[in-house]
Structure 1
Amino acid sequence: MRTTQANRRQFLKAAGPAIAMPYVITSSALGAGGRAPASERIVMATIGCGGQGTGDMQGFLGFPQVQMVATCDPVTGHRENAARIVNDHYHSRDCKDYNDFREVLARPDIDAVLIGTPDHWHALITIAACKAGKDVYCEKPECLTIKEGRAMADAVERYGRVFSGGSQRVLGDYGDWPRLVRGGALGEIKEIYADCWGPSGDCYLEPQSVPPGVDWEMWLGPAPWRPFHDSLISGGFRPYRDYSGGGMTDWGAHRFGAAMFAAGLHRTGPVEVIPPDGKDHKLLTYVFANGTRMYHGGTGDITYKGTEGTLPGRHKTPTARVDMEGYRGEGGIFGDFLHCVKTRELPFRNIEVAHRATTVCHLGNIAYWLNRPLKWDPVAEQIVGDPEANRWLDRPKREPWAI
Structure 2
Amino acid sequence: MDTKKAISRRKFMQFSGQAAAAMALPTLIDSKVLGQGAVAPSNRITIGCIGVGGHGTNVNLKSFLAKSDAQVVAVCDVDSTRMKNAERMVNSRYGSQDCMTTKDFRDILARKDIDAVMISTPDHWHTPISMMAAKAGKDICCEKPTLTIGEGRDLVNTIERYGRVFQTSTEDRSLSVYHRMAELVRNGRIGKLHTIHVELPHQPNGPGDPTPMPVPPELDYDMWLGPAPYAPYNKDRVHFNFRWIWDYSGGIITDWGTHLFDTAQWGNDTEHTGPIEIDAKGTFWDTGLYNTPKEYKIEYTYANGVKMFVKDGNPSIRFEGTEGWVGNRGWIGSLQASDPKIMTSVIGPGETHLVTCPGGEHRSFLDCVKSRDKPYFPVEIGHRVSTVCHLANISLLLGRKVKWDPDKEIFPDDEQAMRMTRRSSRAPWNV
TM over 0.5: yes
1:112 aligns with 2:136: no
Write out the 4+ residue segments of structure 1 that deviate beyond 6 Å after TM superposition.
Answer: none
Return the TM-score normalized by structure 2: 0.82
Q: 2:50 aligns with which of 29, 47, 50?
A: 47
1:179 equivalent in structure 2: 183
Deviation at 1:257, TM superposition (A): 0.8
Any residues of structure 2 matched to 1:46-65 within 5 Å, and which? 46-55=49-58, 56-65=60-69
1:314 equivalent in structure 2: 338
Write the distance in 1 (CA, Å) between the matches of 2:245 and 2:265. Answer: 26
Q: 1:248 aligns with which of 233, 243, 253?
A: 253
- The total of aligned residue pairs comes to 375
1:287 equivalent in structure 2: 301
Write the distance in 2 (CA, Å) between the matches of 1:257 and 1:34. Answer: 36
> Does the 8 Å CA contact 2:186/2:269 hold for their aligned counterparts?
yes
AA aligned to 1:324 is: H
1:16 equivalent in structure 2: none
Q: Deviations over 1:35-75 (max 9, x none)?
A: 31234310001001111111211111110011100000111
Write the distance in 1 (CA, Å) between the matches of 2:32 and 2:114. Answer: 17
> Does the 8 Å CA contact 1:189/1:307 hold for their aligned counterparts?
yes
Write the distance in 2 (CA, Å) between the matches of 1:175 and 1:324. Answer: 10
> Does the 8 Å CA contact 2:208/2:236 hold for their aligned counterparts?
no
Deviation at 1:171, TM superposition (A): 4.1
> Does the 8 Å CA contact 1:31/1:38 hold for their aligned counterparts?
no
Write the distance in 1 (CA, Å) between the matches of 2:243 and 2:148. Answer: 14
AA aligned to 1:190 is: H
> Does the 8 Å CA contact 1:199/1:365 hold for their aligned counterparts?
no
1:359 aligns with 2:373: no
Write the distance in 1 (CA, Å) between the matches of 2:262 and 2:187. Answer: 18
Write the distance in 2 (CA, Å) between the matches of 1:96 and 1:29. Answer: 26
Q: Deviations over 1:176-206 (max 9, x none)?
A: 2122111211111101011114789x98621
AA aligned to 1:388 is: Q
Write the distance in 2 (CA, Å) between the matches of 1:199 and 1:398. Answer: 28
1:97 aligns with 2:101: yes
AA aligned to 1:189 is: L
Any residues of structure 2 matched to 1:286-305 within 5 Å, and which? 286-297=300-311, 300-305=315-320
AA aligned to 1:253 is: T
1:121 aligns with 2:150: no
* Cα 1:144/1:114, change in 2 over 3 Å: same
AA aligned to 1:387 is: E
1:222 equivalent in structure 2: 227
> Does the 8 Å CA contact 1:198/1:248 hold for their aligned counterparts?
no
Write the distance in 1 (CA, Å) between the matches of 2:366 and 2:346. Answer: 34
AA aligned to 1:275 is: A
Q: Deviations over 1:267-286 (max 9, x none)?
A: 111111112499xxx94111
Write the distance in 1 (CA, Å) between the matches of 2:276 and 2:226. Answer: 34
Residues 301-310 or 164-173, more deviating = 164-173
SS in structure 1 opposite 2:404? strand
For structure 1, list consecutive stretches of 5 or more residues without a partner in the other structure: 1-24
1:189 equivalent in structure 2: 193
Deviation at 1:311, TM superposition (A): 1.4
1:267 aligns with 2:256: no
> Does the 8 Å CA contact 2:179/2:356 hold for their aligned counterparts?
no
Any residues of structure 2 matched to 1:67-216 within 5 Å, and which? 67-141=71-145, 143-172=146-175, 173-197=177-201, 205-216=210-221
> Does the 8 Å CA contact 2:280/2:395 hold for their aligned counterparts?
yes
1:342 aligns with 2:370: yes
* Cα 1:277/1:156, change in 2 over 3 Å: closer
* Cα 1:110/1:169, change in 2 over 3 Å: same
1:10 equivalent in structure 2: none
* Cα 1:140/1:29, change in 2 over 3 Å: farther
Write the distance in 2 (CA, Å) between the matches of 1:63 and 1:125. Answer: 24
* Cα 1:29/1:156, change in 2 over 3 Å: farther
* Cα 1:199/1:392, change in 2 over 3 Å: farther
Write the distance in 1 (CA, Å) between the matches of 2:107 and 2:29. Answer: 28
AA aligned to 1:285 is: E
Q: Deviations over 1:121-141 (max 9, x none)?
A: 000000000000000000112
Q: 1:324 aligns with which of 342, 349, 353?
A: 353
Measured on the aligned residues, the alpha-carbon RMSD in Å equals: 2.4
Return the TM-score normalized by structure 1: 0.88
Write the distance in 1 (CA, Å) between the matches of 2:308 and 2:124. Answer: 27
SS in structure 2 opposite 1:211? coil
Write the distance in 1 (CA, Å) between the matches of 2:46 and 2:346. Answer: 45
* Cα 1:198/1:371, change in 2 over 3 Å: farther
1:389 equivalent in structure 2: 417
Write the distance in 2 (CA, Å) between the matches of 1:209 and 1:123. Answer: 29
Deviation at 1:374, TM superposition (A): 0.7
Write the distance in 2 (CA, Å) between the matches of 1:205 and 1:117. Answer: 22
Write the distance in 2 (CA, Å) between the matches of 1:203 and 1:383. Answer: 33
> Does the 8 Å CA contact 2:50/2:76 hold for their aligned counterparts?
yes
* Cα 1:26/1:300, change in 2 over 3 Å: closer
Residues 183-192 or 105-114, more deviating = 183-192
> Does the 8 Å CA contact 1:83/1:97 hold for their aligned counterparts?
yes
Deviation at 1:383, TM superposition (A): 1.0
Write the distance in 2 (CA, Å) between the matches of 1:325 and 1:264. Answer: 10
For structure 2, list consecutive stretches of 5 or more residues without a partner in the other structure: 1-27, 284-295, 328-336
AA aligned to 1:248 is: I
> Does the 8 Å CA contact 1:171/1:178 hold for their aligned counterparts?
no
> Does the 8 Å CA contact 1:223/1:243 hold for their aligned counterparts?
yes
AA aligned to 1:122 is: H
